[in-house]
Chain A
Amino acid sequence: MKILIIGATSAIAKATARLYAEQGQEFFLVARNEERLLALANDLKVHGAGSVEHRTLDLTDTRRHQQTLDQAFDVLEHIDLVFICHGSLPDQEACESNFELAQQEIHLNGLSVISLLTILASKLKTQGSGTIATITSVAGDRGRQSNFVYGSAKSMVSTYLQGLRGKLLPFNVHVTDIRPGLVDSPMTAQFRKGALWSAPELVAQKIVKAIAKKQHTVYTPGYWRIIMTMVCSIPEILFKRLKI
């Protein structure tokens, strides 16, 4: 299988890529930090990857998306799986009083993903096969006081993916929306970790299975589907008073 990973050095991407590397798959990795990309490329080779190419790209720079994705298709020729994993966790409080900051975060977590999806949709349509798997978040399921800038960007992507899924169906291209719960990664390093936090390795196993089974929306770990169903069923009159 030939795999393009965007935001490849994120903890979830790395853990997932390792599982694919053990299967001997071929990779094209895209991320911002060269040092981390190189380290990951070596690591995947050690884990058994067939081949690993990589490019650095600041994903907020949407003007360069086309060029990098062109390179990925040139190198791999055919792409079976595109895995989009980049993102950042905004400082909610700071965003509330600073639109520019909120815009940056929504640009990175939402619009930059849609830019990639626009280009990828057209490429995979032409190819007539492939899977696009995108990491969104359970935070996108309902706007919560503590995290609604991130949540709204992620829910924008989720909604976009829902529509795109139907659009690409006739072209034999599958779209998977992966919604992780709380994952113990460098992005969330400053949080107090309780029982609901999961290791990226565990989340990765579920992702690989879900992609193989061509699932549509995946909650990982699975119990987050139940948690979010409960969260979404709280009447707004009560919910607006919850400081969660």
Chain B
Amino acid sequence: MKIYGWGKFPTVAAELFAPIDETALQEFIAEEQNRSIICRGAGRSYGDSSLAETIVSSRFLDSFAEFNSADAIVDCGAGVILGDILKLAIPKGLFLPVLPGTKTVSVGGAIAADIHGKNHHIDGCFSNFVISFNLLLASGEVIQCSQVKNTELFRATCGGMGLTGVILSARIQLEKVSSVTINQRSLVASDLDSCLDILDAHNESKYSVAWVDCLASKRSLGRSIVYLGEHGDDDNLQVRIRRSLSVPISTPSFLLNKYTMKAFNSSYFAIKGKNVDSRPVAYDSYFSPLDIIRNWNRLYGAKGFLQYQFVVPTEAGKAGLREVLTEVNSAGKGSFLAVLKRFGCANENLLSFPIEGYTLALDFKYEQNLMPLLSKLDKIVLANNGRIYLAKDARMDSATFKASYPKWEAFCELKRKIDPESRFRSLQSNRLGITAETTQ
């Protein structure tokens, strides 16, 4: 079966197993000793982190074991989708403390990628709210990990891209909210400097994100709209069920070219590019505007696309971001709106992506001549002491990874201890040199 991540690049011919419950999954791991395996949740990582010759899906580990409203704790299987937690949580006045740009990621995936949201500068990563999880190791043993129990393994698994074992279930701390309406304020920034100034000036705002027109050049390089958000106080605790549209088939990728994207971005700015005072918007249009178009990845055509998300530290910020945007600009690549966020402090996890600074995510349609540009961007990111997000990555080389994730050796050392035969491996872990290319 041909399997791919959200970006549809690369694809792999793989066997996909979807065990019916935890026991069946454990049996599979125990019986198939000669297979190397990677676990896959909702398939929303972009590149090859959930790809291997044998893939075990956690989609049927989708039961809720407990929902404790008083303590705001949910205990559920790793295959549960964040949107399903929200459906149960919102009417009880609870909310997920970290939400990525889509509600359709799994709990297991959220932990494995240690995802971040638009409030990272205040609340940090998803792992901050993981009370504990059960991890199935290569040995067949299931152990519970938390910040205080099996801490080393907790810190390796959060952000560890599924390479320490299979996350079976997790207890997540939710956040109490009085309303899920988001009071959104939009601020227009005419260029990159003013965008970063606005983000810095509103660092105390609960949520913030900037949509950048990465096709704008010269004096308007980095022109953007910053959206700030706070929970409202109108007592709205209603789950919103939006009718979503679906892109039924991959559209011809030539429809996405420099001209159509420029036209889109320009009209977006013409419509949205005004300062708007705080006004209430629904939570899902604030956090996950693209969820309204299911399969939006098909817009990039059959060959798929790559998302290049990197972070550069605060001090390097302006220069580093400008270099990247200029490079993208002069290559005539780039995409719809890019997303720029400010990160707070890094955490203790070995492979978590965020470090204090600015992160920018750019989408590129897959083309043969894209790779040299991305390699150039890697160099700029490295020169500025930045790094690339593993959940989005499909092509970074091993040297770049090792230079930018200083705790990679500690990770590999721990992996050797708990998984000496590297049974858990992905195309990504092979490429990055976390696991050896050769299979046993």
Using known A-B contacts A11-B60, A186-B60, A192-B1, determine if residue A46 contacts B66 with beta carbons closer than 8 Å: yes
Contact with A along B60-73 (1 / 0, CB 8 A): 10011111000000
Chain A residues, CB < 8 A from B319: none
Bound: A53/B88 CA distance, A: 22
Chain B residues, CB < 8 A from A47: 64, 88
Binds A, one of B13-21, B29-37, B423-431: B13-21
B315 CB → nearest A CB, Å: 47
Binds B, one of A37-45, A71-79, A129-137, A207-215: A37-45
Q: Does any Cβ of B come within 8 Å of A36's Cβ?
A: yes
Q: Is the CB of B18 within 8 A of A186?
A: yes
Q: Is the CB of B64 within 8 A of A36?
A: no
A232 CB → nearest B CB, Å: 27
Partner of B21, one of A39, A42, A192, A193: A39
Of all chain B residues, the one with the shortest Cβ separation from A192 is B1
Q: Is the CB of B64 within 8 A of A189?
A: no
Q: Is the CB of B19 within 8 A of A39?
A: no
8 Å CB contacts to A: which residues of B6-45?
16-24
Using known A-B contacts A46-B88, A47-B88, A192-B1, determine if residue A40 contacts B20 with beta carbons closer than 8 Å: no
Chain B residues, CB < 8 A from A33: 21
Of all chain B residues, the one with the shortest Cβ separation from A22 is B87
Contact with B along A183-212 (1 / 0, CB 8 A): 000100100110000000000000000000
Q: How many residues of B contact A (CB 8 A)?
A: 17
Of all chain B residues, the one with the shortest Cβ separation from A41 is B63
Chain A residues, CB < 8 A from B20: 9, 36, 186
Q: Does any Cβ of B come within 8 Å of A35's Cβ?
A: yes
Q: Is the CB of B63 within 8 A of A39?
A: yes
Q: Is the CB of B66 within 8 A of A42?
A: yes
Bound: A186/B61 CA distance, A: 11
Chain A residues, CB < 8 A from B19: 186
Of all chain A residues, the one with the shortest Cβ separation from B60 is A186
Q: Is the CB of A42 within 8 A of B63?
A: yes
B143 CB → nearest A CB, Å: 19
B83 CB → nearest A CB, Å: 12
Bound: A46/B21 CA distance, A: 18
Bound: A192/B64 CA distance, A: 28
Q: Is the CB of A42 within 8 A of B23?
A: no
Bound: A193/B3 CA distance, A: 11
Of all chain A residues, the one with the shortest Cβ separation from B23 is A35
A206 CB → nearest B CB, Å: 17
Chain A residues, CB < 8 A from B63: 39-40, 42-43
Bound: A11/B23 CA distance, A: 16
8 Å CB contacts to A: which residues of B197-233?
none
Bound: A230/B1 CA distance, A: 28
Contact with B along A167-192 (1 / 0, CB 8 A): 00000000000000000001001001
Partner of A35, one of B21, B60, B88: B21
B172 CB → nearest A CB, Å: 13
Bound: A46/B88 CA distance, A: 8
Bound: A40/B63 CA distance, A: 7
Of all chain B residues, the one with the shortest Cβ separation from A33 is B21
B54 CB → nearest A CB, Å: 13
Q: Is the CB of B18 within 8 A of A46?
A: no
Chain A residues, CB < 8 A from B24: 186
Partner of B65, one of A9, A42, A193: A42
Chain B residues, CB < 8 A from A186: 18-20, 24, 60
Q: Is the CB of A46 within 8 A of B23?
A: no
Chain A residues, CB < 8 A from B65: 39, 42-43, 46
Chain B residues, CB < 8 A from A35: 21-23
Bound: A35/B20 CA distance, A: 11
Chain A residues, CB < 8 A from B67: 46
Bound: A189/B64 CA distance, A: 22
The interface centre, meaning the residue of B16, B21, B23 with most chain A CB atoms within 10 A of its CB, is B21
A189 CB → nearest B CB, Å: 5
8 Å CB contacts to A: which residues of B112-150?
none
B295 CB → nearest A CB, Å: 12
Chain B residues, CB < 8 A from A43: 63-65
B277 CB → nearest A CB, Å: 37
Q: Is the CB of A36 within 8 A of B21?
A: yes
Of all chain B residues, the one with the shortest Cβ separation from A42 is B65
Contact with A along B85-103 (1 / 0, CB 8 A): 0001000000000000000
**5 extra A-B contacts, CB within 8 A, seeds A186-B60, A193-B1:** A11-B60, A35-B21, A35-B22, A42-B65, A189-B16
By a beta-carbon cutoff of 8 Å, the part of chain A in contact with chain B is: 9, 11, 33, 35-36, 39-40, 42-43, 46-47, 186, 189, 192-193
Interface pairs (22), CB distance under 8 Å: A11-B60, A33-B21, A35-B22, A36-B20, A36-B21, A39-B21, A40-B63, A42-B63, A42-B64, A42-B66, A43-B63, A43-B65, A46-B65, A46-B67, A46-B88, A186-B18, A186-B19, A186-B20, A186-B60, A189-B16, A189-B18, A193-B1
Nearest first, the 6 A-B pairs at minimum CB distance are A46-B64, A186-B20, A43-B63, A46-B67, A39-B63, A189-B18
